[in-house]
Amino acid sequence: MLEHLKNTLPRDALASVVVFLVALPLCMGIAIASGMPPAKGLVTGIVGGLVVGWLAGSPLQVSGPAAGLAVLVFELVRNHGLAMLGPILLLAGLLQLLAGRLRLGCWFRVTAPAVVYGMLAGIGVLIVLSQVHVMLDATPQASGLANLLAFPGALGEALPVMGAGLGLDAALLGLGTIALMAGWDRLRPQRLRFLPGALLGVSLATGVSLWLGLDVNRVQVPANLGEAIDWLRPADLLRLADPSLLLAAVAVAFIASAETLLSAAAVDRMHDGARSNLDRELAAQGVGNMLCGVLGALPMTGVIVRSSANVQAGARTRLAAILHGAWLLAFVMLLPGVLQSIPVASLAGVLVYTGFKLVDLKALRGLGRYGRMPMFIYAATALSIVCSDLLTGVLVGFGLTLAKLAWKASRLKVSLVYREADRAELRLIGAATFLKVPLLAKVLESVRPGTTLYVPLEHLNYIDHACMELLEDWSRAAAASGSRLVIEPHALKRRLEGRLRTASGLGAAKPAA
């Protein structure tokens, strides 16, 4: 045990520092994007490291506030107030914990990739639309469309030629942060790959703003972390009887769980170590979100950016994730003045860059390999989220996916092929349901009298009783004209729901000609 710890501790310690440097600006930026004080995101990051890192079923995954939930949290706080976020998170975490204990982890991954990628793209667009206002030291609007419509006015106010020019310095700091992050991602030396571009961008923007004495909005964090904690009030729990709050808790639980488990699967592909226990990971996330609800912090998920940084930095065990939470706690407790000097516009630049990366065009092109429908579902999900809200967009995506499955399940290709003058094949490809009775009846009407009609079933996935009764009725009616229907009974039983009642007009088992 000691020998194993001696071998892994140096790598885990170095990886934890790298993850801490990545997490620090992201925790604060995501909190701002959620309409919450930056310290709330830091509390969630600390809980995600110290608690969830210890309990996690995915040892190398890092948990904390996620950009994917920023939009949902913003909507919840706007509609229900800050005080109700705690009870919603407590219930959402409880649902995750129960799902993990009931071994339902794999079911949260039963989500069409087109819906997941479309959801992330829609969230990315909403983050960009809101954070460009923050980059101008302006207040974002309540919806994506409102942010889009208000942007020209906010930009005009920021330019000295058209407005007061109060947001120009902030905008330049935000743009500088984005430029440095993009350049560092492309050009960083191999030896310095562990340094995150977000940290470099925020550090440089902070240094420049202090050097030039720029009058811009800066991060507001309390000198004492305890002041950032809003303890859950028992009286607020009674309001959870409201159906809208119950639905909000279910939405948080589902989206957080889906993002966590998809991230865990991605992390597993990055290393050769122990695989993730999805049920344990889900239960750990539930405990973490329940704690965040009690503390009045942001919700958490497993996050791919910090997790990939953890793996790439050489982490070997869960100790790296735990230590990153300890570094966050120590930094907030010992150096709050450093955080208070960071320009808010620079953190907004980090979120704008992150939002653009959530709109994954490579994923869209990958979906194109499976046809146009997945691409349409991706676009419809993303646009619905931007034009309405996150829950509506996800429901639209699920609805389109189910419609696609129903359409696929109801497809049936019917063809009548004559082998000889009195022998023919009725070829059925797909699923024969009641929706295809008119088509099948039309083809049967074209069969010539005196024909022995064979129905091979190797390309038929399913046949329901409506189509089966049509074949039986045709067999009885056509017997008067010398026609006969032949179906292989054993193959039919495998495709027909329920027990087969063999009609007297059906022929015996014979191979189709």
Read off the tokens for 510.
């014979």
Torsion of CA 186, 188, 192, 193, to 10 degrees: 10
Q: Confidence class of residue 509 from pLDDT cuts 50, 70 and 90?
A: very low
Q: Which has more pLDDT, 88 or 275?
A: 88
Per-residue pLDDT averaged across 170-191, rounded? Answer: 91
Q: Confidence class of residue 195 from pLDDT cuts 50, 70 and 90?
A: confident
- 456 within 8 A of 512, measured Cβ to Cβ: yes
Q: What confidence tens digit (pLDDT) does each residue in 438-469 have?
A: 999 999 999 999 999 998 878 888 888 888 88
pLDDT at position 502 is 41
Q: Confidence class of residue 504 from pLDDT cuts 50, 70 and 90?
A: very low
* Amino acid, single-letter form, for residue 208: V
Per-residue pLDDT averaged across 184-201, rounded? Answer: 84
Q: Confidence class of residue 275 from pLDDT cuts 50, 70 and 90?
A: confident
Q: Which has more pLDDT, 66 or 292?
A: 292
Read off the tokens for 88.
């919603």
| Strand 62-64 with 301-303, pairing | antiparallel
Given a cut of 70, whether residue 217 has pLDDT beyond it is yes
- Alpha helices (H) along 269-318: 278-295, 304-312
For 88, phi and psi rounded to 5 degrees? -60, -45
Q: Which has more pLDDT, 96 or 482?
A: 96
Given a cut of 90, whether residue 207 has pLDDT beyond it is yes
Q: Which has more pLDDT, 104 or 143?
A: 104
Given a cut of 90, whether residue 246 has pLDDT beyond it is yes
Mean pLDDT of the chain: 87
Q: Confidence class of residue 4 from pLDDT cuts 50, 70 and 90?
A: low
pLDDT at position 51 is 97
Q: Confidence class of residue 503 from pLDDT cuts 50, 70 and 90?
A: very low
pLDDT at position 512 is 36
Q: What confidence tens digit (pLDDT) does each residue in 118-135 have?
A: 988 898 899 899 999 999
Per-residue pLDDT averaged across 282-300, rounded? Answer: 96
pLDDT at position 490 is 57
pTM value is: 0.76
Q: Confidence class of residue 493 from pLDDT cuts 50, 70 and 90?
A: low
- 427 within 8 A of 459, measured Cβ to Cβ: yes
372 burial level (CB within 10 Å; 0-12, 13-18, 19+): exposed
pLDDT at position 492 is 61
Q: Confidence class of residue 489 from pLDDT cuts 50, 70 and 90?
A: low
Q: Which has more pLDDT, 106 or 125?
A: 125
HSE, side-chain direction, 13 A CA sphere, residue 135:
27
Given a cut of 50, whether residue 52 has pLDDT beyond it is yes
Distance CA 228, CA 28 (A): 13
Distance CA 507, CA 453 (A): 10
Per-residue pLDDT averaged across 290-298, rounded? Answer: 96
Given a cut of 50, whether residue 508 has pLDDT beyond it is no
- Selection from 110, 112, 111 nearest residue 367 by Cα: 112
Share of the chain above pLDDT 70, in %: 92
The three-class DSSP label of residue 498 is: coil
Tell me the range of 138-147, 171-180, 424-433 where mean pLDDT is highest.
171-180
Read off the tokens for 327.
């570094």
Distance CA 153, CA 167 (A): 12
pLDDT at position 197 is 87
pLDDT at position 309 is 87
Given a cut of 60, whether residue 501 has pLDDT beyond it is no
